[in-house]
């Protein structure tokens, strides 16, 4: 078995025209990895696997656990976001409803890197079992919530669990030959069809049942229970003793860089809180926002890197700093964030636009509200096929170069529904295609595949960081523009149509969905004035959404630059498999096996 072990311990750097120059880590470093790990915990060529391994219950069951876990991680957000206003009407109304989305993304971002780093050291099995169990508890709490505060608590648990569950892209990557990583990840996206591309439709459908929005949480309860069961029964990656034959857990915990962990988690949490507070809960210039952004930014972007560079103690760094000088890895990680920013941003903005701009039935709103997510996820499914055939560089570049301008072009005329739908679907498809390829490609260009967990965790953290940034920017731009466009277009139009000036404020309030649009609520309102008001209100909204679509090019344009730094993968490693699941009955023997 040892003779068949084939290392991918290498650092891959971009060179001109996307060619690769391979720099193997030293033989001494690789020998240290191999000496520390039992043969079962080392990567190997696909030829070293028994023929029935790929059809064994432990492999297929592990793949099911990963797919269902990813399904649970996405559904905790995607099934709730489209009906958040309805939930607020049932349990509130409460000004804290915005925290439901904030805590999900915040907790996910913080947990990503911790899962990757710690599972590299301690073993992965119980991390992912516990992750699905946390999501299971969160789903039950959400389904039975009687207040917005309880619902926020449920999303805290679901967000923490999502940091485990949405780590799927690197967990699944280490289980299959490197050549098939893209297609394996496409499988995971397919499993999420009910909780991702069709999430808005399903959420709106549940609203027509007696369960209403609670049905989404009960649905996720079943998904997470099944996921946790599959993790427990089938997923048996290398144990701690297989990963560390010469070190004790106590020694590793003492050498772990705990101060770096505190600086990272504390800085990231406070900074992201500031990003989410700004323009939503507090003005951008308020002490809450400025204090959080400055304090969190100082800790995350100054103190943490300096501490990691100049460690005064003989400990293992919390984060391998070479990842920040690995150009292809960094380009892929930030491209993943740009793609996810489009997904999360438009998952919130587009459903609001549908309700504000178009006259549709409730069922039609549910279908149209999910168009952006549908295009994005179907793009993710297709991206794996494209990258497998063409290679990541010449798949990512064209999809990103087209996606940015097409999404921005939706600003042409938001009131033109067919045009806007076509641009949104096409742009979302292309950027989803790019995002899936970039996420998987970030697992290739590492110094050694033994660091796939920490590299995947950092990539996931960057993804969530950019997502929070995008949501904050889009929400702020939309809110600021609506505060300008509605007073600019609605009052002049209705006053010219004959509405008394002292009724304008009441009309604007009712148009915002805060009450019935009737003559008793708005004195002087007539059918003709009502039609004029609705048309002016839609036009004002269209102008605001135009600005949001134009703003998207700040991310799309950045992606159009970063995509040129993506390099193709090393074909000689196509048949390498970074990890495997073992028969639990043989665990004891495998832990002491020499090789």
Question: What is the per-residue pLDDT across 85-119, written as a single tens digit (0 to 9) for each?
Answer: 888 888 878 878 878 877 888 888 888 888 888 88
Which sequence spans correspond to the domains of the chain? 257-315, 491-545
What predicted TM-score, i.e. pTM, was given to this entire model? 0.84
Contact 50, 586 (CB under 8 A): no
Token output for 553? 């090019």
From first to last of its 595 residues, the chain has per-residue pLDDT tens of 334 344 434 433 333 333 333 344 555 555 555 667 778 888 888 998 988 999 999 999 999 999 999 999 989 888 888 788 888 888 878 878 878 877 888 888 888 888 888 888 888 999 999 999 999 999 999 999 999 999 999 999 999 999 999 888 899 999 999 999 999 999 999 999 988 888 888 888 898 899 999 999 999 999 999 999 999 999 999 888 888 767 776 777 777 788 888 898 889 888 888 887 877 677 888 888 899 899 999 998 899 888 888 877 777 778 887 888 889 999 999 999 998 888 877 877 888 888 888 888 777 777 787 788 888 889 999 999 999 999 999 999 999 999 999 999 999 999 999 999 899 899 999 999 999 999 999 999 888 888 888 888 889 889 888 888 888 888 888 888 988 998 899 888 888 888 888 888 888 877 776 556 677 677 887 888 888 888 898 999 999 999 999 999 999 999 999 999 999 888 888 899 988 898 888 878 877 776 6
Count other Cβ atoms within 10 Å, centred on residue 249: 12
The owner of tokens 């102008």 is 543
Q: What is the pLDDT of residues 24-44, one digit of tens each?
A: 455 555 555 566 777 888 888
Question: Between β-strands 44-45 and 10-14, what pairing exists: parallel, antiparallel or unpaired?
Answer: unpaired
**Close Cβ partners of 281 (under 8 Å, ≥ 6 residues apart):** 95, 98, 288
3-state helix, strand, coil in the chain (%, to 5): 75, 5, 20
Q: How far apart are the C-alpha atoms of 494 and 513, rounded to whole Å?
A: 17
- Rounded to whole angstroms, the Cα distance separating 275 from 462 reads 15
For 403, residues 6+ apart whose C-beta sits below 8 A from its C-beta are 342, 427, 430, 431, 433, 434, 556, 559
* 256: CB partners within 8 A, 6+ apart: 121, 315, 316, 318
As a whole number of angstroms, the distance between CA 337 and CA 347 comes to 15
493 CB-contact burial (10 Å; exposed 0-12 / middle 13-18 / buried 19+)? middle
Q: What DSSP string runs through 203-242?
A: HHHHTTSTTTTHHHHHHHHHHHHHHHHHHHHH-----HHH
């Amino acid at each position: 078995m040892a003779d068949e072990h084939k290392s991918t311990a290498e650092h891959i750097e971009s060179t001109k025209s996307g060619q690769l120059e391979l720099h193997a880590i030293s033989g001494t470093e690789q020998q240290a990895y191999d000496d520390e790990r039992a043969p079962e915990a080392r990567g190997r060529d696909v030829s070293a696997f028994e023929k029935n391994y790929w059809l064994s219950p432990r492999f297929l069951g592990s793949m099911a656990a990963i797919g269902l876990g990813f399904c649970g991680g996405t559904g905790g957000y995607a099934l709730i976001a489209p009906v958040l206003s309805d939930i607020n009407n049932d349990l509130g109304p409460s000004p804290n409803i915005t925290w439901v989305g904030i805590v999900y993304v915040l907790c996910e971002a913080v947990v990503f890197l911790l899962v990757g780093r710690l599972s590299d050291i301690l073993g992965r099995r119980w991390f992912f079992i516990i992750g699905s169990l946390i999501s299971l508890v969160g789903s039950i709490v959400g389904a039975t919530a009687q207040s917005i505060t309880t619902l926020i608590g449920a999303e805290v648990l679901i967000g923490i669990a999502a940091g485990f569950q949405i780590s799927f892209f690197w967990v699944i990557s280490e289980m299959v030959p490197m050549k098939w990583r893209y297609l394996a990840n496409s499988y995971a996206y397919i499993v999420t069809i009910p909780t991702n591309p069709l999430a808005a439709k399903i959420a709106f459908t549940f609203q027509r049942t007696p369960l209403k929005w609670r049905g989404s949480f009960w649905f996720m309860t079943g998904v997470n229970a099944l996921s946790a069961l599959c993790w427990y029964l089938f997923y048996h990656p290398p144990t701690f003793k297989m990963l560390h034959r010469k070190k004790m857990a106590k020694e590793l915990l003492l050498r772990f860089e705990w101060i770096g962990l505190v600086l990272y988690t504390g800085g990231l949490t406070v900074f992201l809180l500031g990003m989410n507070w700004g323009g939503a809960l507090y003005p951008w210039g308020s002490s809450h926002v400025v204090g959080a952004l400055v304090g969190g930014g100082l800790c995350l972007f100054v103190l943490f890197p300096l501490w990691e560079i100049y460690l005064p103690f003989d400990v293992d760094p919390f984060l391998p700093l070479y990842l920040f000088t690995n150009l292809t890895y960094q380009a892929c990680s930030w491209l993943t964030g740009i793609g996810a920013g489009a997904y999360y941003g438009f998952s919130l903005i587009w459903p609001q636009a549908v309700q504000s701009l178009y006259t549709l039935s409730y069922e039609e709103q549910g279908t149209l509200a999910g168009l952006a997510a549908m295009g994005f996820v179907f793009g993710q499914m297709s991206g794996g096929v494209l990258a497998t055939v063409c290679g990541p560089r010449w798949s990512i570049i064209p999809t990103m170069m087209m996606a940015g301008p097409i999404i921005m072009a939706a600003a042409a005329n938001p009131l033109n529904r067919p045009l806007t739908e076509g641009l949104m679907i096409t742009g979302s498809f292309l950027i989803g295609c790019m995002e899936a390829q970039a996420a998987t490609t970030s697992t290739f260009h590492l110094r050694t595949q033994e660091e796939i967990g920490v590299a995947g965790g950092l990539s996931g953290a960057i993804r969530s960081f950019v997502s929070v940034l995008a949501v904050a920017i889009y929400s702020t731009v939309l809110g600021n523009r609506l505060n300008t466009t509605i007073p600019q277009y609605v009052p002049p139009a209705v006053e010219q149509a004959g509405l008394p000036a002292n009724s304008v404020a009441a009309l604007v309030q009712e148009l915002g969905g805060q009450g019935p649009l009737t003559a008793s609520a708005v004195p002087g309102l007539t059918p003709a004035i009502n039609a004029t008001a609705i048309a002016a209100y839609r036009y004002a909204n269209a102008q605001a959404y135009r600005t949001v679509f134009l703003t998207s090019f700040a991310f799309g344009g950045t992606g159009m630059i970063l995509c040129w730094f993506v390099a193709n993968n090393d074909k000689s490693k196509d048949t390498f498999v970074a990890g495997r699941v073992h028969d639990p009955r043989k665990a004891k023997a495998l832990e002491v096996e020499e090789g």
